[in-house]
Each structure stands twice: as C-alpha cells, then as structure tokens.
Copies of this chain bind each other. A is one copy, B any other.
C-alpha cells in the first residue's frame, strides 16, 4: 500500500519515523482518519477542517496546504486501487534534537484497506462499561489513547466491547466514538469535554428531521433510563449499545432511532 512521508510517496513498509520523533519520545502528535466510499473520500472537508484545527491547537504547522493535502490523498487513493480505503493523516512534533522541545513537524499519510460495520454487527450491537476518566485536551485529536489501551485487559475481563468515559458522573465519549441516547423522546449527546466526531455531526443533522435533538450534559444514571443508546464513528457509522455495565439497555435490541439513522447512512453511501 502507498503512503506519503513529508515530501515523498513511499511504500507502507517505508513509512517509518526515527525514534527522536516527539510522537515516540513524548506521545506528541495529532491525526485524523476518514474513509473512502467507492474511491471517494467521505466527509473529507470536515476531516481536513478538524486536522488543521488539531494541528493549530497543538502548536504544529501543517507543512502542506489544504489543496496539496487533497491532491496527495487523491494520488494515494488511486495508487492503492482500493474502493474502500482508510486514510490516516498524522502530524508529529518532529525530530527533536533534545528529545523534548517542538521541532519541524513530520507529516505522514497512509492509505490502507478499512473494515466498516455490517448489518450483522448493527443487529448484534455493542456492550460497554463506564469509567471515570477525562482525556487531556479533549477537543484535539491527539494520539493520546494511553487510558484506552491500558483498559483493554479490564474490558476483556468484563467481557465488554468498549469503555464509555464519564468525568465525575457526566458522560463524555468512547475512546474512538461519540455517544448518543434517546431519553424522554429526545436524542441527546454530550456537549463538552469531547472530541467532536464528524459522524456525530452528520447524525445530529440527519436526526433533526424526525426527532428533537439536544447537546447537553448527561449523567451516567440517566443512561439506565434511556430507551436507546448508540455510538457513532467513522468506521462503525451507528451501532446500538445494548448492554451498559451488565444492565440491558431498554429491550436489548436496536431501537427505532438508531435503525432509522443506520438506514439513512447506508442509503447516503449507496448514492456516492
């Protein structure tokens, strides 16, 4: 598979960074990730907007213009010959001579096969445990997933698919997905201390046509009285959460709001 490193196209195998890079020395880098549908990038403008915002908020200058990035991405998609690809843009703190202070950023773009959720996965749904944790600089898509990876053995032990973070009782997000719930016939999603997902944005727009939506603080306890809980992400689209901390959510089957959104999503993709 093809990749792009700073100024040159390379093979995926050549997409390496030297250990002096601040991503490896200090976990300091931002990224964004989106996918193609039938060779066409999905929500590319939104993802590029967020990538530039993340970089700026992390004091990193994107070394290419928006137009240059789009041309590189198009070239990678073509070289890959993939219809459904995952594009990952990463910008790091650079090769720091003193292993600590910000240097000239390294830009790395990869293009690889991507797996998305299926109708079967939608029907089966997902399970989650809650965990008190607030991500650092949550509005920035940084590479800091320390807690998420660290919790993997606990998830395995609990037989749970994922972890839903809350901050002192206020629900925030999954490590790689946003959360929605239907409470008293209103579709609610957390308003603050989260990464604003692009799928979250699309779902809020679409859902507005058939249900009242609200971005607000949600207490963990409220979720136990929700008629639906679901998550949204680039690769998973919309997936119902059917078990939370060993409690079955509503009837334990996908609800009408998630189902309607899933249908809308699939139709939109079929028309690309």
Contacts and interface: CB of A to CB of B under 8 A. Distances in A.
Interface stretch (A14-22, A37-45, A120-128, A163-171): A14-22
Contact of A110 (B19, B59, B133): B19
B22 A149 contact: yes
Given A27-B144, A90-B24, A143-B25, A59 B108 contact: no
Interface in A29-86: 29, 58-59
State which size class the interface on A falls in.
35 or more
A137 interface: yes
Query: Mostly helix, strand, loop or mixed at chain A's interface?
Result: mixed
Interface in A144-186: 144-150, 152-153, 176
B18 A13 contact: yes
A100 B148 CA distance: 9
A143 B26 contact: yes
A189 interface: no
Contacts of A100: 145, 149, 176
22 contacts: A13-B18, A16-B16, A19-B90, A22-B149, A24-B29, A26-B145, A26-B148, A27-B29, A27-B145, A27-B146, A28-B145, A28-B146, A59-B150, A59-B153, A100-B145, A100-B149, A100-B176, A136-B146, A136-B147, A137-B146, A142-B146, A144-B144
